[in-house]
A and B are shown apart, each in its own frame.
Chain A
């Protein structure tokens, strides 16, 4: 745990500060599946014995367990990376209708610049789409403050609250003041069919309430201190949020600012009033024109960034060009790419795949790096679980080609199982390779059901992958150590040339495994 100095100050990352803030606010249940840049939220929360923390099987499961806890009276939190929220969208959209009993905060961390992600989606649109309030801290200290307010808003307005982080807020460290934990009294769990059974008639009534809630939240947004006006010279006024605020403030210290901390619903009156106090309004935001589009729709004349700035993350030195309306100058600095560790078991697996010249439907994990030359032995990476399902599709689209599906153990448990059941049920043939390195390596080595240990490294029921695959209806299941090169290649070759559905579990522990 982080050591604080005498003044209770600690140097915390945005994710850690958020976790401490939630802990102080009496959080009792926290669920997540790992994903950069959000992983440390749960890792920090798991250090507090008062918090029931878990690595869930995937984001949909995590969201639902946390939601259930909130509906039955416990302040709860769910955390994920941006693409993780896609997996949890189904419960999220309807949780907006049911609301909660005790506070429920949905933490989602976007990754502008794709430091470790497969796309650059801007989650702020989810607030609009799901009609949920969204808070957007610009620093670790704000993350701590905002999460505490998020619990209050959640309970006062009977709504899940979205807390949007970005990589630069999650992974910046800053002085943060620590306080005592205060647990609010737990509300009593009661059956409430009209509120929680979303059959059409009930859902219609709830939708009416959702629209009312949105209006009330807009009133809140108008007066919220999180939407703050900083009076400056009046020549230029910036509307900005998140880390973008920090960058602009540095370049234009004397300008006027409307710094949005509650980015949805918008504070329309405040925006219009602010615009009147300055000669020129400039919106500065990372990724999509989320604020820009809304401000324009209010009839406010704004100077907006060039489209080129919708791609990639902002940086302080890019601000002058952005404000001037110029296109982004791409700086072609070559960074070293990460590579598989020298002793990594994935090397052996992919060497065999390459030798047989296979088409490899891949997935996400350390092993995705096998796509890099000279190996170039992984040919797709779209979303978790797709190693299984995409390969089924490839067999249909390109019959006769030698195709395998590849995914890691954590990814298989996350969302590969359903694809395997689908393949067996639909009489698909082919080979699925599960790269079982006994950890979720890519995100720093988290436990999962097939490691037999919990988030706190306590022993638990261990999922036996080979038994599970057999139960799915697979014809052959082999377990092989890829470092036994000959044996591995022989089995792989045999299975690839058979007309059957088989799984090969390529089992060898990750070299960086924490024990």
Chain B
């Protein structure tokens, strides 16, 4: 394993499942043997405010925050948040917002699965094996949510590969 640190910025507004998405990603990186730091701001329980979460993993991670211009991947769930969050993206970084619409269409009958579907897309951009993503989903979800989310994740993964 080299010393490279991978940085992902997640963003959107409250209620879109952003923290769940970054949670799956963090556990997957942990299962893959990386040192992980995930940062998020929560607090006020009211709906609708900006939500942002950063995940970084590598052999050794210091800052829990992705520096401006330091994200390898940006996953933004809300168009109004995009201009602000794009500042985090590296020049050569991947902005996956283009997939949100496709994923929304694919998830038309299960809109709550959008975040997991987008994690599936994200998984195709990161050096983490499928088995670790599966284990992460088993850790983060309970009961029948596990199988549902695995299926949705794999749909997203196919979307990301196409």
Counted as pairs of residues, one from A and one from B, with CB atoms less than 8 Å apart, the total is 115
List, in ascending order, chain B residues with CB within 8 A of A187's CB: none
Q: Is the CB–CB distance between A316 and B67 below 8 Å?
A: yes
Question: Mask for B86-120, Cβ within 8 A of A = 1, else 0?
Answer: 01000000000000000000000000000000000
The stretch among A95-103, A302-310, A331-339 that forms the contact with chain B is: A331-339
The stretch among B41-49, B123-131, B145-153, B154-162 that forms the contact with chain A is: B41-49
Q: Tell me whether B63 is interfacial, beta carbon within 8 Å.
A: yes
B48 interface neighbour in A3, A316, A339, Cβ under 8 Å: A339
Say what secondary structure dominates the interface of chain A: loop
Q: Tell me whether A422 is interfacial, beta carbon within 8 Å.
A: no
Q: Tell me whether A491 is interfacial, beta carbon within 8 Å.
A: no
List, in ascending order, chain A residues with CB within 8 A of B36's CB: 11, 173-175
B27 interface neighbour in A11, A139, A334, A338, Cβ under 8 Å: A11
Question: Mask for B2-40, Cβ within 8 A of A = 1, else 0?
Answer: 000000000001100000000100110011000111111
Q: Tell me whether A444 is interfacial, beta carbon within 8 Å.
A: yes
A contact residues, range:
35 or more
A171's closest neighbor in chain B, by CB?
B40
The stretch among A157-165, A205-213, A244-252 that forms the contact with chain B is: A244-252
Q: Is the CB–CB distance between A317 and B69 below 8 Å?
A: yes
Q: Is the CB–CB distance between B67 and A317 below 8 Å?
A: yes
List, in ascending order, chain A residues with CB within 8 A of B45's CB: 366, 441-445, 512
Q: Is the CB–CB distance between B65 and A315 below 8 Å?
A: yes
A335's closest neighbor in chain B, by CB?
B50
Contact of A341 with B47 at beta-carbon distance under 8 Å, contacts A171-B40, A317-B67 already known: yes
Contact of A174 with B81 at beta-carbon distance under 8 Å, contacts A250-B67, A338-B46 already known: no
> CA–CA, A161 to B39, complex, Å?
27
The listed residue with most A CB atoms (<10 A of its CB), out of B23, B37, B139, is B37
B46 interface neighbour in A3, A315, A366, Cβ under 8 Å: A366
B side interface size, CB within 8 A: 38
B63 interface neighbour in A3, A175, A250, Cβ under 8 Å: A250
B41 interface neighbour in A171, A331, A344, Cβ under 8 Å: A171
Q: Is the CB–CB distance between A175 and B49 below 8 Å?
A: no
Q: Is the CB–CB distance between B46 and A340 below 8 Å?
A: yes
List, in ascending order, chain A residues with CB within 8 A of B65's CB: 168, 247, 315-316
The listed residue with most B CB atoms (<10 A of its CB), out of A116, A173, A369, is A173
Q: Is the CB–CB distance between B80 and A173 below 8 Å?
A: no
Q: Is the CB–CB distance between A339 and B47 below 8 Å?
A: yes
List, in ascending order, chain A residues with CB within 8 A of B39's CB: 168, 171-173
Q: Is the CB–CB distance between B48 and A333 below 8 Å?
A: no
Q: Tell me whether A243 is interfacial, beta carbon within 8 Å.
A: yes
> CA–CA, A293 to B66, complex, Å?
30
List, in ascending order, chain B residues with CB within 8 A of A335's CB: 49-50, 84
> CA–CA, A172 to B13, complex, Å?
19
Q: Is the CB–CB distance between A246 and B64 below 8 Å?
A: yes
Residues of A408-444 whose CB lies within 8 A of B: 441-444
Contacts from A to B (Cβ < 8 Å): 3, 5, 9, 11, 36-37, 115-116, 139, 167-168, 171-175, 243, 245-247, 249-250, 315-317, 331, 333-342, 344, 366, 369, 441-445, 512
Enumerate the 5 nearest inter-chain pairs by beta-carbon distance, A residue then B residue, closest first: A116-B43, A338-B49, A316-B67, A36-B43, A172-B64
Question: Can you pick out 8 interface pairs between chain A and chain B where the beta carbons lie within 8 Å of each other?
Answer: A168-B65, A173-B23, A316-B66, A317-B70, A331-B68, A335-B50, A366-B46, A442-B45
